[in-house]
Structure 1
Amino acid sequence: MMTNLFSSFDPSTYLNTSLNWLSTFLGLMFLPTMYWLIPSRYNFIWNKIIMTLHKEFKVLLGNNIKGSTLIFISLFSLIVFNNFLGLFPYIFTSTSHLILTLSLSLPLWLSFMIYGWINNTMHMFTHLVPQGTPPVLMPFMVCIETMSNIIRPGTLAVRLAANMIAGHLLMTLLGNTGPMLNLVLINVLIITQLLLLLLESAVAIIQSYVFAILSTLYSSEVN
């Protein structure tokens, strides 16, 4: 029972806490981030990357499905972040395992195939025989094209995983020889490791781009 008409306005009567004053700041949650933050250089760089990828993927995909480039930009972002995180010490490199790379490539390829064979059946059949193939070679070309189509998710997954494994393995093997070297050779080893780290950073970006661009090309073939 309310003892006072104005007790509902007392912050200490509800649950005996003064946290009710926090409700004063709830309005800040509804303000857009741009109200507080001027876009940093990181925002500008990332927006530039996204727009560049969008333009490239848009050329390959055409204007078939609105927003379809977002899938491949997200795929690129996921892979490149995982690749870069794997370069830091004691962080698990998830993209070096086929369980992740196959989980990305297989559903994509399978969805492309199902969509293509259901909606564009004749178009998919024409892809099995390249233009200008002699009639004698047509049965062989169908077998070759079918096999190359089937192994696509495997090549996507193995390419990414193998490149991640190779670089990390080389850096690990060279790093383990450090305690057995003298001072001059250790300096050479450190410079070599830094150059390898730079190379691996480039590989991290290139492999992410290759995975995304090949997925885009496979998608454009079924339309």
Structure 2
Amino acid sequence: MKTIEQIAAELQGYDPQALSAERVNQFLAQLVEPVTATETVGVFEALGRVLAQDVVSPISVPPHDNSAMDGFGFHSSQLQPGQSLSLRVIGTAFAGKAWQGTVAAGECLKIMTGAIMPPELDTVVPLEFVKAQGELIEIPPGVVSAGDNRRLLGEDLTAGQPALRRGQTLGPAALGLIASLGLPGVEVVRKLKVAYFSTGDEILSLGEPLREGAVYDSNRYTV
């Protein structure tokens, strides 16, 4: 790294007693060096930090086809334009585990938001859209179309795909994304190290005896 004297010698018309803001920025641009060191921090410590590497998703999001609503899952091939559809409810699928069984034609599955969609189902009708009577439900015509309320595997993010890019400043949303991928930490650029000081003939350090025309340094502590 160049010394301050070497940098000053290269700046045409350099006068330390009369520096414009533009000239100061030119001076500082040559004096400082970019931070290249990195460190791995936990998600809670990563707020406001800058990513040192791309965050590559180790999983697909969502990790499986799932329901976007509390409702009833069925196959859309049974829908007929202008006609209601009557189905028998044969079970309930909850979020957190796969439902075991097979849903045949004329049947449906009560399904909760986030629950895995069995492969033979492709559509979910919300609870409030149906008329229920015992084990039977009736879906009025036109309230749902094929594929409605079904979230597909990898719809948001595919495994192996960059989720966040190097150089990005991490905010709350980015930290939530990192956590959703199951990553306990992330590689970030080392924080800047900054030194600051106060100057002036009138400035006194704390603890020094007060003298005429002088004031105690307060700016440094305020900063």
More helix by share: 1
Shorter chain as denominator, the TM-score bin is: under 0.3
Q: Give me the TM-score of the superposition, normalised by structure 2.
A: 0.24
Return the TM-score normalized by structure 1: 0.24
